[in-house]
Amino acid sequence: MIYYSTKRQAEEASLKKALFKGLPEDNGLYMPEQIAKLPQSFFDNIGEMSFQDIAFEVTNALLGEDVPAEEIRKIVDEAVNFDAPIVNVVDQIYSLELFHGPTLAFKDFGARFMSRLMSYFLEKGEKLHILVATSGDTGSAVAQGFFGVEGIQVTILYPKGKVSPIQEQQLTTNGGNIKAVEIEGTFDDCQKLVKEAFLDKELSEALNLTSANSINISRLIPQSFYYFNAFAQLKREGYKKVVFCTPSGNFGNLCGGLIANRMGLKVENFIAATNANKVVPVYLKTEIFQPKPSTATISNAMDVGNPSNFPRLLELNGNSFEKLTKKVSGAYFNDEETRKTMKTVFDETGYVMCPHSAIGYQALQDYIKEQGGLGKKTAGVFLATAHPVKFVEIVEPVINQKIDIPQRLQDIIDRPKVATLLPVDYKLFKEYLLSEVEAV
Ligand SMILES: *Cc1c(COP(=O)(O)O)cnc(C)c1O
């Protein structure tokens, strides 16, 4: 399969190139030239298929030209080794819980899949070094996702004192092929060091450096699996149609849904829900796309003022605003509304949501009201993007109740932290990398 850039100024790429390069030279985004439709038999049988079987069929349709079926089976079985159940919250509204993976957020799907696909494409004996700067969530998903993957080493930079204690544990307790570097500076300083390393030809070639950027095409593919799998679960409950609501920041998760839709999954409507960083909901109303500096909110994983996957939303809809808005509507909420939703839903149903998921719930409720209700055979599904315990300091005071810590998180909290402390100094950082990392 050929991958082209959404800006159409860069050379076309193979899957391997798009995977390792991440970004085309023209700063567009890679897209596959074709998105295959799945056969009707797939949708007829989907109710009887396991999550892994669904993931296999979807991946095989998208990547089958480039990766043999038995390898796809292995990649998928390792990447999708935890569930994404739907949970009924109220009436016809379901929560699609995407937080049963190792770092308790949906980014585990993308990181686990990307790592295994990269490992497959490495030549025998070839080594790859992933360098990431993180402000928290992406880094922990990448650290966990690449843990133990053959041929790949990972170095994660994070700003000292500026990630949550749980996130720091998730970044610094992996060991093995994962190294954590604590930088005496801000997230921007971390990013600058990483950028400089990539531009440093000598270093970049010596270590075979690659990023694990969230715009990597390989992260979108697994983010379509759970839309199909949610539909399979709904089918078993007797539903025929679905509305999905996706809490969004960079809009990669929503792109996963739109890919599923292009592959033939029937979706009545998508709702793109954001916090105060509302450039996309505003765009969907006005056709004016106006990126802004980001605003800090309690749903901080969605604090994005210039969503990186925005061009893909259009690209997946034939670059037609009309087509896009026929399928996708927008909504946004401030922190006060988000807190109110978390509280009301907890008081009325006992269901606990993280702030991001609460935004998804509220947007879905409002949509259903506007429509005057859902059809009898239609379910509304919001994506629960993180476990509420990840945002415990926000959620507990709102619902006035302690949240249980899942065992897999407790295990991480109990492990000793290992990180190297460095100042914001490129020379020292380079020396560290050259001494710590096996050259290739
Ligand atoms: C990353 C993240 C989001 C936003 O997802 P996008 O794909 O960037 O739109 C939402 N919620 C949580 C918890 C996240 O970690």
**Res 314: pLDDT:** 95
Higher pLDDT: 308 or 440? It is 308
**Res 211: pLDDT:** 86
* Ligand 1 geometric centre to CA of 248 (Å): 6
For ligand 1, say whether the CB of 249 is within 6 Å of any of its atoms.
Answer: yes
What is the mean predicted confidence (pLDDT) over 79-91? 97
For ligand 1, say whether the CB of 137 is within 6 Å of any of its atoms.
Answer: yes
For ligand 1, say whether the CB of 275 is within 6 Å of any of its atoms.
Answer: no
For ligand 1, say whether the CB of 116 is within 6 Å of any of its atoms.
Answer: no
SS (H, E, C) the chain: CCEEECCCCCCCECHHHHHHHCCCCCCCCEEECCCCCCCHHHHHHHHHCCHHHHHHHHHHHHHCCCCCHHHHHHHHHHHCCCCCCEEEEECCEEEEECCCCCCCECHHHHHHHHHHHHHHHCCCCCCEEEEEECCCHHHHHHHHHHCCCCCEEEEEEEECCCCCHHHHHHHHCCCCCEEEEEECCCHHHHHHHHHHHHHCHHHHHHHCEECCCCCCHHHHCHHHHHHHHHHHHHHHCCCCEEEEEEECCCCHHHHHHHHHHHCCCCCCEEEEEECCCCHHHHHHHHCCCCCCCCCCCCCHHHCCCCCCCHHHHHHCCCCCHHHHHHHEEEEECCHHHHHHHHHHHHHHHCCCCCHHHHHHHHHHHHHHHHCCCCCCCEEEEEEECECHHHHHHHHHHHHCCCCCCCHHHHHHHHCCCCCEEECCCHHHHHHHHHHHCCCC
- The pLDDT tens digits for 48-70 are 999 999 999 999 999 999 999 99
* Ligand 1 geometric centre to CA of 249 (Å): 6
**Res 21: pLDDT:** 87
Q: Is the pLDDT of residue 188 over 90?
A: no
* Ligand 1 geometric centre to CA of 18 (Å): 22
Higher pLDDT: 134 or 289? It is 289
* Residue from 170, 216, 253 whose mutation best tests the ligand 1 pocket (most atoms within 8 A of CB): 253
Ligand 1 atom index nearest CA of 253: 7
Closest residue to atom 14 of ligand 1, CA basis = 301
For ligand 1, say whether the CB of 356 is within 6 Å of any of its atoms.
Answer: yes
What is the mean predicted confidence (pLDDT) over 194-200? 91
Q: Is the pLDDT of residue 403 over 80?
A: yes
**Res 69: pLDDT:** 98
Q: Write down all domains in the chain, each with its CATH number in brackets.
A: 83-104+219-399 (3.40.50.1100)
For ligand 1, say whether the CB of 302 is within 6 Å of any of its atoms.
Answer: yes
Closest residue to atom 15 of ligand 1, CA basis = 301
For ligand 1, say whether the CB of 389 is within 6 Å of any of its atoms.
Answer: no
124 contact partners, CB below 8 Å, separation of at least 6:
none
* Ligand 1 geometric centre to CA of 138 (Å): 9
Q: Is the pLDDT of residue 136 over 80?
A: no
What is the mean predicted confidence (pLDDT) over 80-89? 98
* Ligand 1 geometric centre to CA of 278 (Å): 14
Q: Is 164 exposed, middle or buried (0-12, 13-18, 19+ CB in 10 A)?
A: middle
For ligand 1, say whether the CB of 248 is within 6 Å of any of its atoms.
Answer: yes
Closest residue to atom 2 of ligand 1, CA basis = 301
**Res 167: pLDDT:** 86
What is the mean predicted confidence (pLDDT) over 196-221? 90
Ligand 1 atom index nearest CA of 248: 9
Going by their DSSP bridges, the two strands 93-97 and 86-90 should be labelled as antiparallel
For ligand 1, say whether the CB of 105 is within 6 Å of any of its atoms.
Answer: yes
What is the mean predicted confidence (pLDDT) over 333-362? 98
User: In the predicted model, what is the mean pLDDT of the chain?
Assistant: 94
pLDDT band at 251 (very low <50, low <70, confident <90, very high): very high
Q: Is the pLDDT of residue 257 over 90?
A: yes
Q: Is the pLDDT of residue 440 over 70?
A: no
**Res 438: pLDDT:** 62
Percentage of residues of the chain with pLDDT beyond 70: 99
- The pLDDT tens digits for 291-343 are 998 899 999 999 999 999 999 999 999 999 999 999 999 999 999 999 999 99
For ligand 1, say whether the CB of 312 is within 6 Å of any of its atoms.
Answer: no
pLDDT band at 282 (very low <50, low <70, confident <90, very high): very high
What is the mean predicted confidence (pLDDT) over 379-398? 96
* Ligand 1 geometric centre to CA of 254 (Å): 10
* Ligand 1 geometric centre to CA of 439 (Å): 34
Contact indicator for 383, 244 with CB cutoff of 8 Å: yes
* Ligand 1 geometric centre to CA of 137 (Å): 9
pLDDT band at 439 (very low <50, low <70, confident <90, very high): low
Q: Is the pLDDT of residue 396 over 90?
A: yes
What is the mean predicted confidence (pLDDT) over 219-237? 97
What is the mean predicted confidence (pLDDT) over 113-138? 90
CA-CA distance, 380 to 395, in Å (whole number)? Answer: 24
Q: Is the pLDDT of residue 12 over 80?
A: yes
* Residue from 248, 304, 310, 357 whose mutation best tests the ligand 1 pocket (most atoms within 8 A of CB): 248
* Ligand 1 geometric centre to CA of 326 (Å): 23
What is the mean predicted confidence (pLDDT) over 255-281? 98
- The pLDDT tens digits for 100-110 are 999 999 999 99
For ligand 1, say whether the CB of 115 is within 6 Å of any of its atoms.
Answer: no
What is the mean predicted confidence (pLDDT) over 163-169? 87
Q: What is the pTM of this model?
A: 0.94
Ligand 1 atom index nearest CA of 308: 8
Q: Is the pLDDT of residue 27 over 90?
A: no
Q: Is the pLDDT of residue 232 over 80?
A: yes
Q: Is the pLDDT of residue 187 over 90?
A: no
